[in-house]
Structure 1
Amino acid sequence: MSVAVLTAIAVFIIAVFRMLNVSSQPQKPSFFCRDKQFLNRVLKFAPQLEDPIGHTDDLHVMLCNLSEHYPNTKIIIIGYSMGGNLVTKYLGESRHNRPSSVIAGVSICQPYDALKATGVLLHWQNFRRLYLYALTEAIKALILKHRSKLLADDIKEQYSLIEKDIISAATLPELDDAYTRKVNNFKNLHEFYRWSSCLHYINNVKTPMIFINSRDDPLVPEDLLIPIQNFAKSKDNILYMELMHGGHLGFFEGGFMYPNPIAWLDRTLVTLLPGIREHCLDDIKKTAVY
C-alpha cells in the first residue's frame, strides 16, 4: 500500500476521532492543589471551572527583551505541549537571572519526561508512531533545508556528524542520536533526554504555575501525569487541572460534526489569567511589606 493511501486513511481516521472527541457539555476538570488560597484566587474569575524536550536560552533572551521594552508590564509565560516543558524547565533552572516581571507560568498538555514520552511515541497505539514519523520528517527536512550551514564540513568534523545517518533516521530518537544530542555535546541519548525534561527541574520551581492535561491525550498517557499530580499536592502556588477529555491541545466543545469555534482551553486561559495575576501581585506586595 502506498504512502499516499496510508496518509489518506490516517487523515480520515484522525478526522473521525476529532469528531468523536468533541464534548457537547462544558467540561469540569479535576483539581490537584495543596495551596487552597492559590486555588481560590485563580478560580475567582473562572467560576465555570469550579461549577461544571530543551534549551531555554532563547526564551530567556526574549523575556529579557520584553521586560526591557515594557518595564511596567507583568508577564505570564504560557507553553503548549513541549513548549510547556520548556516553560517549566526555565522556571526551575537556577542558571538564569530571570526578569522580575515574569510572575507566573502556564503549561498545557506537556509530557514532563522526554525519555518516557519518546518511548511512548514509538508505539502504534492512537497513531503515535505516525505522529512521530511526521515530526521526524519535519525536523529532518528543516536540517536538510539549511544543510549548507548545519551540515557544513567543519560542523560535521567538529561534532562527528555522519550525514547518511541523519538522512536515514526513521524515528525521532534515531535523529536525535545522529544529530541533536551531538551538536548539544551530550554523550548519549539518555543524558540528552534527561537534561531536556522539566521533571528533573520542577521541584525547584518557585514561581506560581498552572498545569493542564487531559486523560485521553493520545501522545501523553496517564502514567506520565502521576508526577505532576503528586507535585501539585505537595507544593504551594501550584495548580494542576486534569480533564477526562481534550486530546492533545484539542479541548473541543459543541456539536458532533462541528465544534464551537472557541474551545474550552481558549475560554479557560482568558478566565484563569486575571486570578493568577492578582495572586502574584498580592504576594509581591506582601513581600515588599516584610
Structure 2
Amino acid sequence: MTSQFTPPWWAKSPHIQTILPVLTKRPTPALRRERLELADGDFLDLDWLGQPDEGKPIVMAIHGLEGSARSHYASRLLHACEARGLAAVVHHHRSCSGESNRLPRSYHSGDTQDVAHSINHIRARYPNSPILAVGYSLGGNVLGKFLGEQQSDSPIARAVVVSAPLRLAACAKRLEKGFSRVYQSYLIRQLQAKLAFKVTDTRLGPAMPVHAHEVAQLSTFYDFDDKVTAPLHGFTDVHDYYDRASGLPFLRRITTPTLVLHAADDPFMTDAVIPRADELSSAVEYELNRYGGHVGFINGGSPWRPQFYLERRILDFLQAVPAAK
C-alpha cells in the first residue's frame, strides 16, 4: 500500500532514523511487573501499564533482540497507549527483563512457545479483552510466525509487525557489511556478556555449547547462531535455524488482520525480507516505506525532540475496527 510516512530533510539517512530514537528516548512510564513461572523451571516477566478494564482491549508489545520495556520503541508505544486510555503489557523474552534466566537456553527469532504462554495467561485472566499485538524486529518475526502457526485459531484480534527480519540468513549477512557492522557489534557485545555469565556459572556452564575462551570469537550473528543459538534450542545448525525460524513463509497462513511494516533503507535488512504478493494472505496488509531505517520512522520535530510515525500508525491500525475475538 502507499505509505503516508515522510521523513524531515534532516532525517532521511537510515542511520539517523535508526540511532537518533535511541539517543532521544523518553523515560518509560511506571509499570507493574508480573512473573510467570514456566514448567521447565524458567520464568517470563510481563510489564503492565494500567489495569485492563472488563472487555476493553489490551495492547501487547513483543520487543526486539536484547530489548525490553525500556527500549525506545516500547516506551513510546506505552506512552501512546497511556494517552489513549489503553492498557498495555510488554512480553519480555527470557533474560531480557533485567535478570538472567535460569536455564542454559535463552530466546531466539522463532521462539513462539514463550509468546504463546504469555498470551494464554493474559487470555485466561482477561477472557473478554481482545489482545492487540505489536512485534518489533526479532519480536516482529516471532509474532508473524506465531500468527501463521495459529491460523484461524489465533487468540490475537489484530496485529502489527514492525521492521521484522523475515529472512534471517539474509539479514545476518547484511549485518556483516558496511556501517551495519556497527549495529552487529553493539548487539553481539550484549549477547557475549550474557553468554560469558552463563559459561562461567558453575551450574549452567557444563551445559553450554561453548567454553569461556570461545565467547570473544563469536563476533558475527552467523557464528553466534551456529555455535550457540542453534544447539541450545534444538536446531541442527545455523542453516536449519535460519530456515525454520524465519517468519516470511508463515505470512501466507495468517488469518488475523495484520499490518507488516518495513523501510526499504533498513540497515538490518535486504530485499529478501520484502514479501511477494503471493506470499501474503488476504488478512495481511503490507506497507513498504522508502525511508525509516530500523524501527525508526521519524516524521517531524527536531533532532533534539523528534516526532514519530510509528505509534499513531500502529494504534490507528489496531483500533481501526472493533476487535471481536
For normalisation by structure 1, the TM-score amounts to 0.69
1:19–1:258 CA contact under 8 A, matched in 2? no
The range that moved more, 193-202 or 108-117, is 193-202
Alignment of 1:141-160 (within 5 A): 141-147=193-199, 148=201, 151-153=204-206, 155-156=207-208, 160=209
CA deviation after TM superposition for structure 1 residue 81, in Å? 0.9
Q: Distance in 1 between matches of 2:15 and 2:238?
A: 33
Q: Distance in 2 between matches of 1:16 and 1:194?
A: 27
Q: For 1:169, give the aligned amino acid.
A: L
Alignment of 1:42-191 (within 5 A): 53-93=109-149, 100=155, 102-124=156-178, 127-147=179-199, 148=201, 151-153=204-206, 155-156=207-208, 160-191=209-240
SS of residue in 2 equivalent to 1:77: strand
Query: After superposition, what is the alpha-carbon deviation per residue over 1:23-67, rounded to whole angstroms, capped at 9, x for unaligned?
Result: xxxxxxxxxxxxxxxxxxxxxxxxxxxxxx221111011000101
Aligned partner of 2:97 in structure 1 is: none
1:143–1:150 CA contact under 8 A, matched in 2? no
SS of residue in 2 equivalent to 1:201: helix
Which protein has greater RCO, CA pairs closer than 8 Å, 6+ apart?
Answer: 1
Q: 1:210 aligns with which of 245, 255, 259?
A: 259
Higher-Rg member (1/2): 1
Aligned partner of 2:313 in structure 1 is: 268
1:135–1:172 CA contact under 8 A, matched in 2? no
Structure 2 CA distance for partners of 1:249 and 1:66, relative to 1, 3 Å: same
Q: Distance in 2 between matches of 1:20 and 1:192?
A: 27
CA deviation after TM superposition for structure 1 residue 259, in Å? 4.5
Query: After superposition, what is the alpha-carbon deviation per residue over 1:60-87, rounded to whole angstroms, capped at 9, x for unaligned?
Result: 1100010111111001211011111000
The range that moved more, 78-87 or 205-214, is 205-214
Aligned partner of 2:16 in structure 1 is: 18
Task: Flag structure 1 segments of 5+ consecutive residues without an equivalent.
Answer: 1-14, 23-52, 285-290
Aligned partner of 2:60 in structure 1 is: none
Structure holding more helix per residue: 1
Task: Flag structure 2 segments of 5+ consecutive residues without an equivalent.
Answer: 1-12, 21-108
Q: Distance in 2 between matches of 1:206 and 1:149?
A: 46
Q: Distance in 2 between matches of 1:201 and 1:19?
A: 28
CA deviation after TM superposition for structure 1 residue 97, in Å? 10
2:259–2:286 CA contact under 8 A, matched in 1? yes
1:214–1:244 CA contact under 8 A, matched in 2? yes
CA deviation after TM superposition for structure 1 residue 162, in Å? 4.0
Structure holding more strand per residue: 2
Structure 2 CA distance for partners of 1:19 and 1:69, relative to 1, 3 Å: closer
Structure 2 CA distance for partners of 1:267 and 1:168, relative to 1, 3 Å: same
RMSD between superposed Cα atoms in Å: 2.9
Q: Distance in 1 between matches of 2:18 and 2:228?
A: 39
Aligned partner of 2:287 in structure 1 is: 241
Query: After superposition, what is the alpha-carbon deviation per residue over 1:145-196, rounded to whole angstroms, capped at 9, x for unaligned?
Result: 233167422x14xxx5444333321112112222111111222210011111
Q: Distance in 2 between matches of 1:211 and 1:199?
A: 11
Q: Distance in 1 between matches of 2:144 and 2:296?
A: 21
Q: Distance in 1 between matches of 2:265 and 2:305?
A: 18
Q: Distance in 2 between matches of 1:75 and 1:168?
A: 42
1:162–1:178 CA contact under 8 A, matched in 2? no
Count of residues in Structure 1 that have an aligned counterpart in Structure 2:
225
For normalisation by structure 2, the TM-score amounts to 0.62
Q: Distance in 2 between matches of 1:141 and 1:184?
A: 19
2:135–2:160 CA contact under 8 A, matched in 1? yes
Percent identity of paired positions between Structure 1 and Structure 2:
24
Q: Distance in 1 between matches of 2:187 and 2:19?
A: 23
CA deviation after TM superposition for structure 1 residue 202, in Å? 2.3
1:113–1:198 CA contact under 8 A, matched in 2? yes
Query: After superposition, what is the alpha-carbon deviation per residue over 1:79-127, rounded to whole angstroms, capped at 9, x for unaligned?
Result: 0111110000111125x99664x21221001121001111111111xx1
Aligned partner of 2:29 in structure 1 is: none
Aligned partner of 1:287 in structure 2 is: none
CA deviation after TM superposition for structure 1 residue 200, in Å? 2.8
Aligned partner of 2:53 in structure 1 is: none
CA deviation after TM superposition for structure 1 residue 256, in Å? 5.1
